Chains A and B, each alone.
Chain A
Amino acid sequence: AQKVTQAQTEISVVEKEDVTLDCVYETRDTTYYLFWYKQPPSGELVFLIRRNSFDEQNEISGRYSWNFQKSTSSFNFTITASQVVDSAVYFCALSEAPYNTDKLIFGTGTRLQVFP
Chain B
Amino acid sequence: DGGITQSPKYLFRKEGQNVTLSCEQNLNHDAMYWYRQDPGQGLRLIYYSQIVNDFQKGDIAEGYSVSREKKESFPLTVTSAQKNPTAFYLCASKTTLSGANVLTFGAGSRLTVL
Contact = CB atoms under 8 A, between A and B. Distances in A.
Interface of A: 4, 9, 33, 35, 37, 42-47, 50, 52, 91, 95, 97-98, 102-104, 106-109
B42 A45 contact: no
Contacts of B92: 45
A37 B35 CA distance: 14
Interface string B48-82: 10100000101000000000000000000000000
Query: What 8 pairs across the A-B complex have the smallest Cβ distances?
Result: A45-B105, A43-B108, A108-B42, A106-B42, A106-B43, A44-B107, A33-B100, A103-B45
Interface of B: 31, 33, 35, 40-45, 48, 50, 56, 58, 88, 90, 92, 94, 96-108, 110
Contacts of B96: 98
B33 A103 contact: yes
- Specify the main secondary structure of chain B where it touches its partner: strand
A2 to B, nearest CB: 11
Nearest to B3: A44
A85 to B, nearest CB: 18
Contact of A95 (B44, B50, B90, B100): B100
B108 to A, nearest CB: 4
A50 B42 contact: no
A107 B42 contact: yes
A92 to B, nearest CB: 9
Nearest to A99: B99
B105 A33 contact: no
A39 to B, nearest CB: 9
Nearest to A9: B40
A87 B49 CA distance: 32
Contact of A47 (B33, B43, B45, B103): B103
Contacts of B42: 4, 91, 106-109
22 contacts: A33-B100, A42-B107, A43-B88, A43-B107, A44-B108, A45-B103, A45-B105, A50-B100, A50-B102, A52-B98, A52-B100, A97-B99, A98-B101, A102-B50, A102-B101, A103-B45, A103-B48, A103-B58, A104-B45, A106-B35, A108-B40, A109-B42
